Amino acid sequence: MSKFFTRMGDGSAVFLSEAEIRRDLEEGMLDAADRGKIPELTDDEMERLYQIITDPQKTVSIERGNEVVMTFDAGTLKLPVRAGLPVDRMTTVLTHERVLCSDTMEIGNADYSYKQLKNIVHEEAASMEFTQLNCIIPVFYGAMPNLGLYTKPDGPVDNWSELLPMAKIGEARAAQEEAIEMAVKDMVYIASILYEAGADGINFDTVGASGDGDFLATLKAIEILKSKYPDMAIEVGMAGEFVLGMHGQLEYDGTRLAGLYPHEQVKVVEKAGGTIFGAVINTNSSKSLPWNLARAVTFSKACSEASNIPVHVNAGMGVGGIPLTNTSPTDATSRVSKSLIEIGKADGL
């Protein structure tokens, strides 16, 4: 029986038979449908996924006319940090514009958290101004809400990661509520200065990494920013496929945030005033690419169908079905990109 080259979620090569690939596609798709309580993919879509996975070409591409817009998180950290190229941020942005043909780009600091930027925000603003003078594509400014940085020893608030294991639930919740207010203030402060310095948009990246409080702080900051700057483009990229309930009872406009999956997350982001939603679907490193891809596509399709704003699915290291490796293998990345766009209905990546 012939076998097809594919990968595991940790990037290792594996050869699977048609039956094994179809089984993994089915199981991955059903896992997403079950967890998210969302519709399953159709038989035609599953067949298409099978064709994409087993395409003999090393890399695949979308059909002409299906091109989508690309946005980036930690944009200016990718070439210098991930790829180890000794280039400054301006060069990174221009390389993306003039060599890689990126549609947009993002400037971010090595201390990629809003709280950490307060001391250097005016230098960041100057960088944004110079970059805008030199490039054509829209340039976002991005960082993470990173609510954990407000806890001891990095911040003034009691550490809920220490309080929770001690069953001090009330104290842990109160600490998170206190941190939310501080984070909102910092995010609005930084985003306002960078927007006024010329940023075409603001990116809130890895939202929810510290749980539902992290997500709520971002939504509140977006509300304020949209009232100050109604035309501001705001991208919200999530940290994981469901919102971790570190608090568990936080709500936004009557919706409990903990446990929301992408098709539900996008609705609250939309309500707060977000203009692009970066859905995240986690890659399971112990499962195959077919399993992870079918799962990611199922979540992506449901999210895109529920949304009234563009959905840019995160497609990178360990998310969106892409294997968890420092440098993503293009055979997998291209298959994931094509599937998310053509079956998962992603508006962008």
Partner 1 sequence: MLIIEDAIKEAQEAIVKCDENKAVAIAKQAIDAGLDLVKLLNDGFSAGIRIVGDKFGRGEIFLPELILSAEVMKKVTEILETAIVSDSAKEKKAVILIATVEGDVHDIGKGIVVSLLKTQGFEVVDIGRDVPVDKIIEKAIEVNADIIGTSALLTTTLVEQQKLEEELRARGLRDRFKTIVGGAPCTERWAKKIGADAYGEDASDAVVKCLKLLEK
Can residue 209 be called a binding residue for partner 1 (CB under 8 A)?
Answer: yes
Residue for token pair 């499962």: 287
Cβ 193 to partner 1, closest distance in Å?
Answer: 27
Cβ 232 vs Cβ 277: under 8 Å: no
Residue 83's CB: how many other CB atoms inside 10 A?
Answer: 12
Cβ 328 vs Cβ 316: under 8 Å: yes
Cβ 92 to partner 1, closest distance in Å?
Answer: 20
Instruction: Pick the piece of the chain touching partner 1 (CB under 8 A) from 61-69, 157-165, 178-186, 298-306.
Output: 157-165
Cβ 4 to partner 1, closest distance in Å?
Answer: 20
- Tokens read off for 68: 């989508």
Cβ 276 vs Cβ 316: under 8 Å: no
Nearest to 213 by CA among 253, 241, 185, 173: 173
| Total number of residues that touch partner 1 (CB under 8 A) | 37
Can residue 162 be called a binding residue for partner 1 (CB under 8 A)?
Answer: yes
- According to DSSP, the residues that pair with 107 across neighbouring strands are 141
DSSP labels for 267-330? HHHHHHT-SEEE---B--TTSBHHHHHHHHHHHHHHHHHH-SS-BB---BTTBTT--S-SS--H
Considering only residues 215 to 274 of the shown chain, the ones binding partner 1 according to CB under 8 A are 242-249, 258-261
In the bound state with partner 1, the residue whose beta carbon lies nearer, of 211 and 237, is 211
- Tokens read off for 133: 């003078």
Cβ 212 to partner 1, closest distance in Å?
Answer: 8
Cβ 258 to partner 1, closest distance in Å?
Answer: 5
Instruction: Tell me the per-residue interface mask from 98 to 137 with partner 1, x by CB under 8 A, - otherwise.
Output: ----------------------------------------
Considering only residues 6 to 35 of the shown chain, the ones binding partner 1 according to CB under 8 A are 8-10, 12, 35
Cβ 344 vs Cβ 296: under 8 Å: yes
Can residue 306 be called a binding residue for partner 1 (CB under 8 A)?
Answer: no
Cβ 242 to partner 1, closest distance in Å?
Answer: 3
- According to DSSP, the residues that pair with 141 across neighbouring strands are 107, 202
- Tokens read off for 314: 């995160």
Cβ 260 to partner 1, closest distance in Å?
Answer: 8
In the bound state with partner 1, the residue whose beta carbon lies nearer, of 42 and 327, is 327
Sign of CA dihedral 11, 298, 254, 236: positive
Amino acid at 194: L
Q: Which of 45, 97, 124, 212 binds partner 1 (CB under 8 A)?
A: 212
Cβ 292 to partner 1, closest distance in Å?
Answer: 12
Cis bond before residue 153 (omega within 30° of 0): yes
**In angstroms, rounded to a whole number, what is the distance separating the alpha carbons of residues 55 and 67?**
19
Query: Could you list the residues that contact partner 1 (CB under 8 A)?
Result: 8-10, 12, 35, 148, 154, 161-162, 164-165, 167, 169, 172-173, 209-212, 242-249, 258-261, 284-286, 318, 324, 326
